[in-house]
Structure 1
Amino acid sequence: MTTVMRNVVAASVLVALILGGCDSNSESSVPTTEKPREKSVPVHVQTVTKNDLDERFSLPGSLEAMVDLSLAAEIAGPVDWIGPTEGSRLVKDEVILTIDSVSQKANLERALVDAEMQQANMRRLENLVAKNLVSRREYDNSVTAYETARQNLKLARIALNKSSVRAPIAGVLDKRFVERGEYVKVGDPVAVIVQVDRLKVLVDVPEKDVRSLHVGEVVDVLQTQIDTGETIKRIGKLVHLAYNADPVTRTYLAKFEVDNHDRQLRPGMIVRIEALRRTLKDAIAVPLYALIDNDGRKVVFVEEQGRAQMRPVEIGRVVRDQVVVQSGLEAGENLIIKGHQLLSDGMPVIVKGD
């Protein structure tokens, strides 16, 4: 009996130890109810506003002299005097060269003497015919001779004037094709004068931009120096816009007048014009980099009460580095423009300064 009792006591102690171990393990395995703290993502925001947005367009063009004149010889003969050199600035009516001027001066003097003699003879006969000392026919012949001499004098003066090749406008002597002693015929080119204080820009305008341009409109004309990267900016005025399109390119030729008093620009340079296409009134525009592609749709993130809210948006025109948002954003909201690549809807954020 004593042995049986000892076995019962031992078994009871063993069961108690096992149960105690189970309770300890059960308590230690219960998970904590405290959630881990979410980490806030630092972001930069921009307040959404409505503004008038100018949509501009740019087109390439080329510079030409406003006036480019080719001068030709009006009389035949040897070139007997050369004046300004190529590149010289010319004033209006300045003599560039002369052609056979010595002979033309001699012809003028001879014509002048002949006209004076014929005039004197006509006046002498006029007195005599009044006294019936000479016939009327003789007097009429003297009148005809005087008129002929007077016309020859006029022609001699014209020929002498034509012997001097003059600048019809103020400009620059760009080219001279003849040298002293060279014989030229009537119509031979002798010089080229260009006016460079004013230039014209020729631009081929595509059909979609023609309606945006009007004669008298002012545009920006930009020329970038290849070696330095410096940009020369001028104001251009539209003076002509073709009505007929080029049959090959289907573009319309536009001519802009540009001031070039400092002569930094030269004919033949490549430039571009920037003009206003339209003004979008009260537009909401955001930086292009604020947009994110999400399963084929455009979305942005806005900050609301410390959290990022994803907004699907409908976009319109792209103007430079801005895109017009047609729906999905309202003025006054805080658009997240930096740090948004790491966000998902509802994530906590902390707004940082610039």
Structure 2
Amino acid sequence: MPEYLTLIGTLRANQESDIAADAAGKVVATFVERGQLVRKGDSLARLDARAAVISVSAAEAQSNLVKSNLEQAQRECDRVKHLLETGAISRAEYDRTTTECSSTQWSLAAAEAQQQNARKLVGDSNIRAPFDGVIGERFVNVGQYVQSSTKVASIYAPDPLRLELTVPEAQAGVIHEGMTLTFHVTAFGNETFSGTVKYVSPNIRESSRDLVVEALVPNPPAPADKADKADKTNKADGAKAATGKLRPGMFATAKLLLSEHPVPTVPVQALRREGATARIFVVVEGRSNERLVQLGEEKDGAIAVVSGINRGDSVIAEPGPDMRDGLRVASESEK
């Protein structure tokens, strides 16, 4: 039977981000709502870019002016070089002219950098999605003034998800990448989901004495999403996105498979359950003997019995509703 390590954890998005404006200005349009699917590069919001456009025009004019000055300076440098060779001017006058030529070149570099920065501000006024994902929340509205650090929207990638687990220090030595696990979440009752350990922290946290590991978890589509699966590429028009059954933030109880080893087992049908209590009837000297048992893991119709019976005990495989302690049980030879 399998031996599991039971852990608790939280589902998180594989990629998630609070997108900053990266520019200052008034919001003139928003294009997304909570739960909307967006593609990398899609517009989330737009800022008033009129001042940035004016800055671009001014920077381009300044750049053109410096280019003209540089052309004039280069012609002057070529002229004084010839004059120096003929001895018509002094070395000091020649050095002064060539220095002016070099400084004009640096002025052009500064003007072009200013022009690129102005163009960037125009581009930053259109705030875009950094990756494919689903909008978690939009933080701004039309008319609001934002700074470069203002959060505009949150976005997360819904598939796959990460299951973040904390492993007690005593069990940290058995954890490694590639281990498989199963888990349940409250929203879906006994439905089982699976994942694979992908990321293992290199250190034990001193404050809590545990090891943080993360498993990658495929996110199966929710029933309402399956009908729209073929139409996912058209979801960026404002329709609700297919986000899958599992959602970031869900609490999960996981079982991490450590190994398998032989243990006493009985058929599941041999159990009589009453709440958290489990009973099994074994045959002792021709009569039924009721045993309270502690159960382990279940697999392929059999369940492990941790205590209450011993290997080799004769178990009544399907006790009827009238079965009780002390009833005579016929052997095969007596039937």
1:228-274 Cα deviation digits (max 9, x unpaired):
x56252334342246324635x5443322212263111122222212
Q: Shift in Å at residue 309 of structure 1? A: 8.2
Q: Give 5+ residue unaligned stretches, structure 2.
A: 84-93, 222-243, 273-279
Q: Give the share of equivalent positions with the same residue, in percent.
A: 22
Name which of 227, 232, 245 aligns with 1:264: 245
CA distance in 1, matches of 2:52, 2:171: 57
1:131-181 Cα deviation digits (max 9, x unpaired):
239943543443233222112112212322333322222111211211122
1:201 aligns with 2:185: no
CA distance in 1, matches of 2:53, 2:111: 16
Q: Shift in Å at residue 280 of structure 1? A: 0.8
1:187 equivalent in structure 2: 149
1:92-130 Cα deviation digits (max 9, x unpaired):
232222333222122123212321232233123312431
- Matched position secondary structure for 1:114: helix
1:196-240 Cα deviation digits (max 9, x unpaired):
1222222333455444432221211333536xx562523343422
CA distance in 2, matches of 1:301, 1:334: 5
Relative to structure 1, the CA distance from residue 210 to residue 101 in structure 2 (aligned partners, 3 Å threshold; closer, same or farther) is same
Residue identity matched to 1:177: F
Q: Shift in Å at residue 59 of structure 1? A: 3.1
Contact 1:58 1:272 in 2 (8 A): yes
Name which of 286, 290, 304 aligns with 1:322: 304
1:273 equivalent in structure 2: 254
- Matched position secondary structure for 2:8: strand
CA distance in 1, matches of 2:9, 2:330: 52
2:28 equivalent in structure 1: 80
CA distance in 2, matches of 1:62, 1:351: 57
Bigger radius of gyration among the two: 1
CA distance in 1, matches of 2:253, 2:294: 26
Residue identity matched to 2:250: M
Relative to structure 1, the CA distance from residue 186 to residue 318 in structure 2 (aligned partners, 3 Å threshold; closer, same or farther) is closer
Correspondence 1:1-354 to 2 at 5 A? 53-132=1-80, 135-207=97-169, 209-225=171-187, 229=189, 231=191, 233-241=193-201, 243-245=203-205, 247=207, 250-260=209-219, 262=221, 263-281=244-262, 283-286=263-266, 300-301=282-283, 308=286, 318-320=296-298, 321-323=303-305, 329-330=311-312, 335-337=315-317, 338=319, 341-343=325-327, 348-349=330-331
Give TM-score, length-normalised by structure 2.
Answer: 0.68
Contact 2:66 2:104 in 1 (8 A): yes
CA distance in 2, matches of 1:299, 1:184: 73
1:74-93 Cα deviation digits (max 9, x unpaired):
23222233222332212123
1:273-325 Cα deviation digits (max 9, x unpaired):
122233114x443359679xxxxxx99427xxxx83899x9x99844442268
1:9-28 Cα deviation digits (max 9, x unpaired):
xxxxxxxxxxxxxxxxxxxx
Relative to structure 1, the CA distance from residue 243 to residue 265 in structure 2 (aligned partners, 3 Å threshold; closer, same or farther) is same
1:24 equivalent in structure 2: none
Instruction: Note the aligned Cα RMSD (angstroms).
Output: 3.9
- Matched position secondary structure for 1:197: coil
Contact 1:236 1:259 in 2 (8 A): no
Relative to structure 1, the CA distance from residue 115 to residue 317 in structure 2 (aligned partners, 3 Å threshold; closer, same or farther) is same
Q: Give 5+ residue unaligned stretches, structure 1.
A: 1-52, 292-297
CA distance in 2, matches of 1:219, 1:272: 10
Contact 1:286 1:325 in 2 (8 A): no
CA distance in 1, matches of 2:310, 2:139: 70
Residue identity matched to 1:276: L
1:3-61 Cα deviation digits (max 9, x unpaired):
xxxxxxxxxxxxxxxxxxxxxxxxxxxxxxxxxxxxxxxxxxxxxxxxxx222343333
Residue identity matched to 1:80: V
Relative to structure 1, the CA distance from residue 270 to residue 126 in structure 2 (aligned partners, 3 Å threshold; closer, same or farther) is same
